[in-house]
Structure 1
């Protein structure tokens, strides 16, 4: 019983740390690319050594700029993708039954282990996400690599 309580306390602490790690949604960067102000942007990442690729949407101009800075090499520290999963498919992310909430998506350098999982593992255990697996639905794939910006879906 002591182990169960300790595990639950650890999970709650991890969720609290994730919430604190998220940048303030209201904070806007002063230096925002004019392209970012035009609307949503879509980016693709992978999780080596798996061949799977995942596309997510960003709507915040500051986050779009940060993603573009990662791709250009201007940002070298906070380069891994994290956010809260949404358990439904998105037309811009074919092949997966989940996506990331654009409002919660951000970039990190280091994160706690409880939110790490590969793309395929999340898909295969989606029904468990939000409980002991990915508490609060927070996903921070440690090995994620931003690959490229992709065109907005048409139609």
Structure 2
């Protein structure tokens, strides 16, 4: 089991190349044996604060992406080292949701809406059709084929559905 934080603090799970990852409010852990044992995941390349809150995971090809309270980070070596992904409107915004649809990486930011990249580097605003107030409340994504479903939350929760072209 987890050394600190406990399972009640897990924000996201992800399976990448038979390695399970768990993001939680004090970092990341990973398991190489189907979740029987967990160890702290390397944080080389993450800022101290980004390594604290890991909210979301996705992958594009062999690149693993994590959404943190300090933006998006990418790893091309199974999470052993990380580098900041630039090109989003701000590098220090909470990234609460990540998804991959085809070759697109979709990023849900807590205060900046939804962003899309087809190369994993350059992002464009993908929030069309999302109410202005909902842009500040992105919480989670689900993907069904080429359709992305997003949940927002506040006193007036919204479900936003968009086909990725």
Please confirm whether the aligned pair reaches a TM-score higher than 0.5, indicating the same fold: no
Bigger relative CO (Cα 8 Å, ≥ 6 apart): 1
Larger helix proportion of the pair: 1
Higher strand share: 2
Larger Rg: 1
Q: TM-score band, normalised by the shorter chain?
A: under 0.3
Which TM-score applies when normalising by structure 1?
0.25
TM-score by length of 2: 0.24
